[in-house]
Chains A and B, each alone.
Chain A
Amino acid sequence: DARVTQTPRHKVTEMGQEVTMRCQPILGHNTVFWYRQTMMQGLELLAYFRNRAPLDDSGMPKDRFSAEMPDATLATLKIQPSEPRDSAVYFCASGIEDSASTDTQYFGPGTRLTVL
């Protein structure tokens, strides 16, 4: 049963520290999405990639967040420096582009980040 995996599942850090979250998309999927979920804002799209190239990162705070895909099996989301307001659950999702868009997105279990 193919799944999206995310590490770590939980992360507690202090303000100002760098945080790196990792995602392994489902093998063969060419589109990877990063979402953030908070009680106040709900689920928000931060950025996404197709064939490892960034397509849209308009939802991501540019000054401290960065997203990359070093290879087809790994996507990373970094926050440097982290702030308490970054506390949230970060989800990665992957999918296959079907003619024009990614039809179905498969979500990972999320990384719960707490910044003290």
Chain B
Amino acid sequence: DAKTTQPPSMDCAEGRAANLPCNHSTISGNEYVYWYRQIHSQGPQYIIHGLKNNETNEMASLIITEDRKSSTLILPHATLRDTAVYYCIVRPHGDDKIIFGKGTRLHILP
């Protein structure tokens, strides 16, 4: 079972920041938070991951709360191409498996 809880859907206006929340209240000390997204008719795509520090790359930023029980994925300037299902995944270090939940369907509105 997925160990994360995400809202089923969200809307965001084009050009604005999209903030996608994820709850993982039972996360363990050796578990990382990963984010993938799946654009319609494509395979999932890795976005970012982190353990306890905030992370940023060319795609997004990941903010993890101090207690690590929740996190937020931030797409700073959302475009229509960011419309996708976003999966928040908790995964132990040393474990190859990814358990996908239902994710959040993000709609970017023109």
Interface residues of A (CB under 8 A from B): 4, 31, 33, 42-45, 48, 50, 55-56, 91, 93, 97, 100-110
Stretch among B6-14, B69-77, B98-106 lining the A interface = B98-106
Instruction: Encode B18-59 as 1/0 by CB contact (under 8 A) with A.
Output: 000000000000000000000000111110010000000000
Docked CA distance A55–B44 (Å): 22
Please give me the residue from chain B that is nearest to A107 by CB atom. Answer: B43
Question: What is the CB-to-nearest-CB distance from A68 to chain B, in angstroms, rounded to a whole number?
Answer: 18
Is B66 among interface residues, defined by CB-CB distance under 8 A?
Answer: no
Tell me which residues across on chain B come within 8 A of A105, comparing CB atoms: 44, 46, 98
Instruction: Encode B60-101 as 1/0 by CB contact (under 8 A) with A.
Output: 000000000000000000000000000000000111111111
Contact A109 B42 (CB under 8 A): yes
Contact B44 A42 (CB under 8 A): no
Cβ-defined partner of B101 (8 Å) among A42, A56, A102, A108: A42
Contact A93 B101 (CB under 8 A): no
Tell me which residues across on chain A come within 8 A of B43, comparing CB atoms: 4, 91, 93, 107-110
Contact A107 B45 (CB under 8 A): yes
Can you list 19 contacts pairing A with B, beta carbon distance less than 8 Å?
A33-B96, A43-B44, A43-B100, A45-B99, A48-B97, A97-B96, A100-B93, A103-B49, A104-B46, A104-B49, A105-B44, A105-B46, A105-B98, A106-B46, A107-B42, A107-B44, A107-B45, A108-B43, A110-B43
